[in-house]
Amino acid sequence: MSERKSDPDREDSERAFFGRRKGHKLRQHQAELIDHLLPRLALAIDREAPADAREIFAPAADDLRLEIGFGGGEHLAGQAAMRLGHGFIGCEPFLNGVVGALNHIRDDKLANIRLHMGDALEVLERLPDASLSRVYLLHPDPWRKARHAKRRMVNDGPLDLIAAKLKPGCEFRLGTDDPTYCRWSMMVMNRRCDFEWQASKAADFLTRPADWPETRYERKARRQGHEVWYFRYLRV
């Protein structure tokens, strides 16, 4: 997706953008990762027909997972390292975040990750329905102002798409340290009938699951004294 320069306050924007793209100037070795490693891992988006999820990886991966906005790539790489037989797609428009993920992929020799440097919704739209075993959305931009609420990823439009692409009985994971986003997410998710919250007590969403690698955003939040919430929803 080409960079959109629309005003976030406009109500007639074609599609809200859910992250940021620019960061610090790249060092030489970082630029080399973008020039040489990223093309080998970049996910090809076919705009004419949906992608065949089994053909994204060689050998084919029946279990396909997607992370929306992977930040520095710690969680994405951690998940991929734990599940070498599974395929992972990471979507991140922020250039420096993509560099971070490429560093992890190179250092850990991970062959089961593909990257899309752009809007995750583009990828979701092209995948077949019921093709994903898990979707991750960790510490998304909270867009705290009420007039920007439509730009949050946890909204019915993106969630309809996530629900369509998840296999029944599979999981959508959401993590946030922002109280506004926490309350908003609970409100939006609790009114839906296609997701079931996997929590019966406070510890279920206040304690990070063992298979949920910590991110730099989470560590930063903890240092600042913020609470972190971990939501797990099954697609029903």
Q: Which residues are catalytic?
A: 141
Contact status, residue 35 vs residue 175, Cβ threshold 8 Å: no
Residue 150 tokens read as 């439509």
**Range list of β-strands (E), the chain:** 64-68, 87-91, 113-116, 132-138, 166-176, 195-197, 229-235
Distance in angstroms (rounded) separating the CA atoms of residues 145 and 68: 22
For the sheet with 195-197, list strands across it.
113-116, 87-91, 64-68, 132-138, 166-176, 229-235, 195-197
Q: If we measure between CA atoms, which residue out of 85, 91, 55, 39 comes closest to residue 70?
A: 91
For 50, residues 6+ apart whose C-beta sits below 8 A from its C-beta are 126, 127, 128
The dihedral region occupied by 46, where left means phi > 0, alpha psi between -120 and 50, and beta the remainder, is: beta
